A and B are shown apart, each in its own frame.
Chain A
């Protein structure tokens, strides 16, 4: 395969990308091949080294934001259908269906976002409340050990210590849970992206 053929094939496979991104990618690989040839490789060898076109395309698509992938998928199915007018009519006629589904999905996503905020807010509030209790218990303890008996005061001080310990443990726990939730979300998004990609190629 010649450099020109390679770049044309690459360009074809990436046709759904915005012109800007497409040109940048083509430029990148053209430059890479040119540099390798300058370094002493033949065009054939350079193209071998640059890698498999399908792999390159897949890698690029995996790194596109998920919204772009969905847009591309929609554009693909639009271009495939020969009868644009028919497609247009179908979209209008089925409006009640897809619109309500879209509205439902959006509301669900919004509800999820709101509940995440609530949970985070709740946790922060609880932590604040516990911190205040710790401080109050400690202060009460000191006060009581002077005012009443030292044993009485010591109880409150001990209590505040215990509470601090529990707080530290639960903060660590929540941190772990948060990290786990975040990486699961990313893995999930990657999975969805790969579903959108594999059919195209």
Chain B
């Protein structure tokens, strides 16, 4: 009786979890397929510049490059900015740095003589955007309500996914454990992955 109830509720929750998190599954699946077509390590080329805007900015004279880049970063108010990096001087000795965002990176260059910051946006593709959103969780991509909400949802879907893997195996064992093809499928893949794990470890 208890086993029947356990199976009944496990199946129900497994189904509900799958239906509730279906959109996350789609984003993850699409991201995983797209990843095959990403360039090899060291061969990444950024997308072309999609737009450029200029912003007036006068720097206090007593800031070093890191402090100045932080001041520019705060003034630029780039949507969904995930932090600045690669603070450096370009070939003309202008302060330059990059800002990561979910919708593509920004390259900022400060032309101190003109008092202008040039912000070049390299908008990413929809696939790269999905890839970025598939990494969202409660401590990341927290910058607008929609992104925050998706982050919490994505994290919840991860827990649901783990539950579904375990509950799925349980339901198989509880109903059709003697299916030969099912056993061979699981055993075959398990053996392959065990060998691969040993090889890389």
A binds B: no
